[in-house]
Chain A
């Protein structure tokens, strides 16, 4: 649980972050989205005190972050950035081991942890542990950067445009993987991006920043249905908001009782994807199957369309 209270940062006469308060639930992904210069990165960097707040407080799990030495505080908080920031003179394994080493873990525990993380991030330890960052592809470098941030099992993970340097296909995969790994570890993630689609894709909650102010902090659907400011409508776009709304619900969540002949869709697919499938195939109903391949309900065209209307 992260409590941000009246957090403000001023550089001389310029206020970069202005009296921002938000409460981030444990085990959730909160995405801070905004244009460049909105103060979103500064807000993030005040959580681990890479930027010292001018005023206001950050309380993580009941402890005021100002009471600890800044660099010791940061060892307990994961950190991943755009362009990965890997240490070019250290191997993949050494990079991932950075924080566990700083924390004084013993060698066996570090080795086991590095091994686990490489497996989780789909990098064969035998092939990749001893490689240097420049020997990896961009997508692999980024995965190592995120693995490094997870290394010491932090309860809180801060990410600043972590997928900004990736091409769209690798980015979508990285976002899906991050969700899975976050579910698995129960990590509280605060992620900064300028990409509203990324915010909708990842965020349990989305905070919109503009000119140092927090305009709205809510569930993604609420940003579409009840935007608190015209800027938010501009940011999310109104042209395809019904489709965006559909993309926020999965087939599993929307499935009705019953079954149907013919096509099936996985429960993890979004309604937007299911609708697209139905339009493409001309069918009016599909069966939803769970991860084990067992039918768990059905979706009709009318049922899907109902989810695309604000309620």
Chain B
């Protein structure tokens, strides 16, 4: 009995890699979608470079979101920081509800065009799932376990690092995964402010009425999101193996 889930993932990865490395070999597939003799494959930049650049931006933003959201989540679940919970929640919610496009518009005058405004938009957009999952994870630690940790003589820091965070880890990792996947798609809007990414391909398609370009940008982004989701899930399983049965 073959492991179909794995077979499909390997196939998806192979397809993605093949397309990014030799896009021209897929030209016959996309040719019917382009009109007036326009090129079937995006030719104004290297697709692989664009994809990697977009991925890099997303990972960098996720790293920043994780540090801030987990840090904030820890702070507001301490007795000394509990009063900041409503305020932090409001701020993080604004980050999620404020449209990333609007964040770009606000950020460009401040930091100029390019990667920077995209990073800011993705960072703000990615905070909420990590923040909420960190809080949920820390608050779900059984009270008897916390009581035992205190009674054993753990300092507040030892209790956090060796009991609370490990127990909250499955939920925190899930939050990071969610945030990553949302942002792989969202990152395409960065191309409106000259960040290098697959949005460029989609925008080029929209401007020249070339469905083939739009589809290429969309499909590569989608495949990246799915594969990233799976990779994170596998990583979580590895990290938590045995300890959260």
Q: A: which residues have CB within 8 A of B?
A: 48, 50, 71-77, 79, 81-90, 98-99, 102, 132, 134-135, 145, 148, 158
- How far, in whole Å, are A124 and B152 apart by their CA atoms in the complex? 24
- How far, in whole Å, are A87 and B166 apart by their CA atoms in the complex? 10
Q: Does B154 sit at the interface, judged by CB under 8 A?
A: yes
Residues of chain B contacted by A85 (CB below 8 angstroms)? 142, 144-145, 147-149, 151
Interface digits, B130-164 against A, CB 8 Å rule (1 contact, 0 not)?
Answer: 00000000000010110111111111001000010
Task: Across the interface, name the chain B residue whose C-beta is closest to A151.
Answer: B152
A89 touches B153 (CB 8 A): no
B150 touches A50 (CB 8 A): yes
Residues of chain A contacted by B153 (CB below 8 angstroms)? 71-77, 99, 102
Question: What are 9 A-B pairs at a CB distance below 8 A?
Answer: A50-B150, A72-B153, A79-B151, A84-B144, A87-B163, A89-B167, A89-B243, A134-B245, A135-B245
- How far, in whole Å, are A90 and B244 apart by their CA atoms in the complex? 9
Q: B: which residues have CB within 8 A of A?
A: 142, 144-145, 147-155, 158, 163, 166-167, 242-245
Q: Report the minimal beta-carbon distance from B157 to chain A, rounded to whole angstroms.
A: 10
Q: Known contacts A85-B148, A132-B243: does B163 contact A102 (CB below 8 Å)?
A: no
Q: Report the minimal beta-carbon distance from B166 to chain A, rounded to whole angstroms.
A: 5
Contact of B154 among A83, A102, A132, A158 (CB under 8 A): A102
B154 touches A79 (CB 8 A): no
Contact of A81 among B144, B158, B242, B243 (CB under 8 A): B144
Q: Known contacts A89-B166, A89-B243: does B154 contact A71 (CB below 8 Å)?
A: yes
Most chain A beta-carbon contacts within 10 A, residue among B142, B148, B153, B154: B153
Q: Known contacts A89-B244, A132-B242: does B151 contact A81 (CB below 8 Å)?
A: yes
Q: Known contacts A88-B167, A89-B166: does B155 contact A71 (CB below 8 Å)?
A: yes
Residues of chain A contacted by B242 (CB below 8 angstroms)? 132
A81 touches B148 (CB 8 A): yes
Residues of chain B contacted by A98 (CB below 8 angstroms)? 152, 154
Residues of chain B contacted by A50 (CB below 8 angstroms)? 147, 150-151
Q: Known contacts A99-B153, A132-B243, A132-B245: does B167 contact A83 (CB below 8 Å)?
A: no
The 8 closest A-B pairs by CB, nearest first: A85-B148, A79-B151, A75-B153, A74-B153, A85-B144, A89-B243, A83-B144, A89-B166
Residues of chain A contacted by B152 (CB below 8 angstroms)? 74-75, 79, 98-99, 102, 148
- How far, in whole Å, are A84 and B145 apart by their CA atoms in the complex? 8
Q: Report the minimal beta-carbon distance from B66 to chain A, rounded to whole angstroms.
A: 20
B149 touches A87 (CB 8 A): yes
Residues of chain B contacted by A132 (CB below 8 angstroms)? 242-243, 245
A87 touches B145 (CB 8 A): yes
Q: Known contacts A89-B166, A132-B245: does B147 contact A81 (CB below 8 Å)?
A: yes
B148 touches A87 (CB 8 A): yes
Task: Across the interface, name the chain A residue whose C-beta is closest to B240.
Answer: A89
B144 touches A74 (CB 8 A): no
- Identify 14 new A-B residue pairs, CB closer than 8 A, beyond the known A82-B144, A87-B145, A89-B244: A71-B153, A73-B153, A74-B150, A74-B153, A87-B149, A88-B142, A89-B167, A90-B243, A99-B152, A99-B153, A132-B243, A134-B245, A135-B245, A158-B151
- How far, in whole Å, are A89 and B169 apart by their CA atoms in the complex? 11
- How far, in whole Å, are A194 and B87 apart by their CA atoms in the complex? 43
Residues of chain B contacted by A76 (CB below 8 angstroms)? 153
- How far, in whole Å, are A86 and B151 apart by their CA atoms in the complex? 12
Residues of chain A contacted by B150 (CB below 8 angstroms)? 50, 71, 74
- How far, in whole Å, are A194 and B155 apart by their CA atoms in the complex? 30
Q: Report the minimal beta-carbon distance from A69 to chain B, rounded to whole angstroms.
A: 9
Contact of A79 among B142, B148, B158, B244 (CB under 8 A): B148
